[in-house]
Structure 1
Amino acid sequence: MALILVTGASSGLGHDTAKALVDDGHEVVVHARTRARLTDAGDDARWKGALLGDLSDLDDIHDVARQASAYGRFDAVIHNAGVMRSPEAVTVNTIAPYVLTVLMDKPGRLIYLSSSMHRTGSTDLGRLTDGTASYDDSKLWVTALALALASRWEGTSSHAVDPGWVPTRMGGPGAPDDLTAGHRTQTWLATHPDVTPHTGGYWHHRQTQEPNPAAQDERFQTRLVQALENRTGVLLG
């Protein structure tokens, strides 16, 4: 049995991921923006606990990290929360995963939700602070963050996942990919005893793919971490 945190778990892929993990016998702490969003989902009793906070607000992100500390070290953290609209996209999709990662106890496994749209993201990190970052940018940056962490923290594996274009509220009803397949890779990476590669994978439906080359570029990874440190005041260390 593993202790796992899933952010953005009130609906869509996050909710499906959390439910699947509980069904497999794991203890799951979920995150949602408000308590009402979890109550609306109708299955509060499933969860070991809940973290509440708006991940588009830096103060709330810090508070969510403080709430997480009450549970000690997680075996895995799935950074699922995401939005498409700007300017919130960069905060929710990139800054929140970064700050939570640094402020929380290092888990055994880190899984970050990417997107195939990261391939058209920009390496212009000025967009991180000037309000012009797009969804594509935010997903390139969180992918680069995931791969940067893969080689930085001994004892913690780190992966990025493209769940596909699936019919969630964000993906829309006409999305062509399979909804169930959209969360299976995350649950597998969080719990399977023998994931290969052990760390640093970019995954789609339990198969590794080559990401945008910038995500694997150590120089860009270093610039990204420095930009995130400057933007948030939170040092990776």
Structure 2
Amino acid sequence: MARIFITGSADGLGRHTAATLIEEGHDVVVHARSAERLASVQDLLDRGADGIVGDLVAMDQIRDIAGQVNRVGQMDAVIHNAGVLHGPDIFQVNVAAPYLLTALMQQPRRLIYVSSGMHRGGHAGLAALGTGARKVTYSDSKLYLTALAAAVARLWPDVLSNAVDPGWVPTRMGGAGAPDDLRLGHLTQEWLAASDDPEALTSGGYWYHQHREKPHPAVRDERFQNELLDHLAGVTGERLR
């Protein structure tokens, strides 16, 4: 059975993913931004999950999260699920945090970055990250994250790195009226994290409901990837090795 760490697993898709993987017999490490939020998954802790606490808004807490996970042990898979839809912390939570965790944690066998179909509406450039520039949108952040997943697949050939569009599903973020299937919204992450299906043992993909799709063209652009990695190294003080 696999040991799997899931960020943002106190509710929504992260919680559903954790619960299913625990039910399947995997060792799961759940994450919440505070002790109060972690208490909301006491049922998962009672079923054997380990709990990690830290706010992805703060660089020092991201570093502490990586340290906590490394002390638990090397993960077989990491699902970067945490994300925010609005507010000033979109880039920090949706992009910088998964990058820094990727850089600091012991390399797992598999990395899954939860993206969005909205990444196709993102701006294929880093102008939004400059001083005085327009604000980074959710779509921008998911484009950056999807490019990060592709860059990791290129730079770390021994790690299976993929991005997933979970669909517009009825979670707290998606809203009760979201039209997509909630079960399908977390099935692909679980499959990529733990399945021995030959298709799941591939890297560099952008997946929607267990089917590969074509992402925004910038995702495969190595120049764009490298510019993003350089910016993230500057922001975090860590470079992928």
Please indicate the TM-score interval, normalised by the length of the shorter structure: over 0.9
Deviates more, 1:32-41 or 1:179-188: 32-41
Instruction: Select between 202-211 and 86-95 the one with higher mean Cα deviation.
Output: 86-95
Distance 1:63 1:171 in 2: 29
TM-aligned CA deviation for residue 129 of structure 1: 5.3
Task: Tell me, yes or no, if structure 1 residue 14 matches structure 2 residue 18.
Answer: no
Partner residue in 2 for 1:153: 156
> Cα offset for 1:75?
0.3
Does 2:95 match 1:94?
A: yes
The number of residue pairs the alignment matches comes to: 237
Residues of 1 paired with 2:48 and 2:178: CA distance? 29
TM-score by length of 1: 0.96
Distance 1:177 1:223, change over 3 A: same
Q: Which residue of 2 aligns with 1:227?
A: 231
Letter in 2 for 1:11: D
Amino acid in structure 2 at the alignment position of 1:139: K
Matched, 1:135 2:129: no
Check conservation: 1:84, 1:170, Cα contact below 8 A: yes
Separation in 2, partners of 1:129, 1:105: 31
Percent identity reads 51
Alignment partners' CA distance in 2, 1:190 and 1:135: 25
Unaligned runs of 5+ in 1: none
d(CA) in 2 for partners of 1:73, 1:128: 33
* Structure 1 residue 79 corresponds to structure 2 residue 80: yes
> Equivalences for 1:98-117 in 2 at 5 Å?
98-117=99-118
- Specify the code of the residue in structure 1 equivalent to 2:85: M
Q: How does 1:161-176 map to 2 (within 5 A)?
A: 161-176=164-179
The residue aligned with 2:57 is: 56
- C-alpha RMSD of matched pairs (Å): 1.3
| Structure 1: 4+ residue segments shifted above 6 A | none
Q: Which runs of 5+ in 2 are unaligned?
A: none
Shift of 1:153: 1.1
Q: What's the offset of the Cα at 1:42?
A: 4.0
The one-letter code of the counterpart of 1:17 is T
Q: 1:89 to 1:117 in 2, by over 3 A?
A: same
- State the TM-score, normalized to the length of structure 2: 0.95
Deviations 1:89-131 (CA, angstroms, capped at 9, x unpaired): 1111100000000000000000000000000111231323547
**SS where residue 222 of structure 1 aligns?**
helix
Kindly indicate whether the alpha-carbon contact (under 8 Å) linking 1:10 and 1:41 is maintained by their aligned counterparts in 2. yes
2:54–2:65 contact (8 Å) kept in structure 1:
yes
- CA displacement at 1:151 relative to structure 2: 1.8
